Structure 1
Amino acid sequence: MKLSVSERIQLAEDIWDSIPAENPDAVTLTPVQLQEIRTRLDEHERDPSSAVAWDEVRSELFQR
């Protein structure tokens, strides 16, 4: 609890990112999840301007 909120979020992200690096099978996607990714990718390819950069999303989240 000594860390700031943004530092705790970063720590959680770092831990989450380390899981597939250590054990790739621990983070497998279901067929439904894969289909959702394909759908979103198709939508993005049809209209790339609708995307929001991760830096913008993250910045907005940290401002709250």
Structure 2
Amino acid sequence: MLSVEQLIQEALSLPNATRVFLVERLMESLESDIDENTQNLWNIEAKKRRDEIHNHTVESIPGEIALSQVRRILEK
């Protein structure tokens, strides 16, 4: 049996389309473990945030800027 590190190296050597397929299958396997109530709450929150952006209630910022802000906060 391959170690986790060996498995990662093997996966990274696959063609992009195959890696995407692998990731999708792994994500599907995790989704079955998610509590349905928790998933529903996350869906509600995601729709609320989407609506806030569409209604201009909040201002979105690029991901790079958000990550740099989070990194600065964590460095304190």
Q: Indicate whether the TM-score tops 0.5.
A: no
- Name the structure where helix makes up a greater proportion of residues: 1
TM-score w.r.t. length of structure 1: 0.41
Q: Determine which structure has more spread, i.e. the larger CA radius of gyration.
A: 2
TM-score w.r.t. length of structure 2: 0.37
Higher relative contact order (Cα pairs below 8 Å, separated by 6+ residues): 1
